[in-house]
Amino acid sequence: MSVTLLLILSLFFSNSLYGKQEEYKKLRRQMVHEQIMRRGITDPRILNAFIQVKRHLFVRTELQPRAYRDSMLDIGEGQIVSQPYIVAIMTYLVGPKSDKKVLEIGTGSGYSAAILAELVETVYTIEYIPSLGLEARKRLDGMGYKNIKFRIGDGYEGWEKYAPYDGIIVTCSEDHIPPALIKQLAVGGRMIIPVSHSSEVQELILLEKLSESELKKTSLIPVQFVPIIRGSAKK
C-alpha cells in the first residue's frame, strides 16, 4: 500500500471520527436542553457536567446511537443506566458542591459517578457485581478522573471508613432506607434513594438529616430501579 493511500485513509478515518464526536456533542446539548432544562433543572454546573460527560462511552457499542435518548439502557448483568433526567434530578437534589464528598451505591457503568466527579471533591462508589465495578473503574481511570474511590461490596452496608458523607445517592431500590446509610450521612446531608412499596411501585425519596435524631423525608416522583443486591459480593 502506497504512502499516499495510507495518508488518504488516515485523513478519512480522522475526519469520520471527528464528525462522529461532533454529532455526539450536538446530541448531548440537545439532551440537556430537552430532557433536563425543560424539566426544571437549570443549575449551570450540573448542566455543564452533563454536556462534558460522554454518555455514549458508558454503554455497549451497539447501544451508543441510543445513548442520548430519554430512556434507560441495559449495561449487562441485569443492570441498567438510568435515563439522563433521573440521573440529573438525583444529582441536583443531593446538593453537589465542590468541597463536598458523596457516596454512591451502585456504580453500574460509572456514568453517574463521572457526573458527580465533575461537581464534588470526592466520589466514593460501591458496586456489588465485580465485573461491572472493575470495568467502570478501568473506564473512569482511562478518562482521567482522580477524585473517585471504588469498592466492590455490599452497598446496603455503605462505606463506613470514609463516613460521614455530605450526600448519598442510591441507584437501586429497597423497601426501606438502610440504617447504615442513615448513620453514615452527615448532619445537614442529603440522601436520594428509590424506595419500593411493591414489585411495581417505587418512589424517589429525599432524606435530609437535620440532626442525629431528626430526619425529614420527602416523596418526589415515581421511578423504576433494579433492586439492591445484598450479602457478600458476587464472584
Q: Calculate the alpha carbon distances from 5 to 8, 9, 10, 52, 67 in Å.
A: 5, 6, 8, 35, 34
Sheet containing 148-152: order of strands:
148-152, 122-127, 101-105, 165-170, 185-196, 202-209, 215-222
Catalytic residue among 2, 16, 82, 173: 82
Beta-bridge mates of residue 130 = none
**Cβ distance 46 to 92 under 8 Å?**
yes
Taking CA 192 as the corner, what is the angle to CA 181 and CA 125, rounded to the nearest 5 degrees? 60
Q: Which residues contact 207 (CB under 8 A, 6 or more apart)?
A: 177, 182, 185, 190, 191, 192, 193, 215, 216, 217
CA 215 to CA 206: how far, in whole Å?
10
CA-to-CA separations, 60 to 68, 86, 117, 131, 202, in angstroms, rounded: 13, 20, 22, 14, 27
- Count of residues making up the chain: 235
Q: How many angstroms separate the CA atoms of 150 and 50, rounded?
A: 21
Q: Does the annotation mark 173 as catalytic?
A: no
Please identify every residue annotated as catalytic. 82
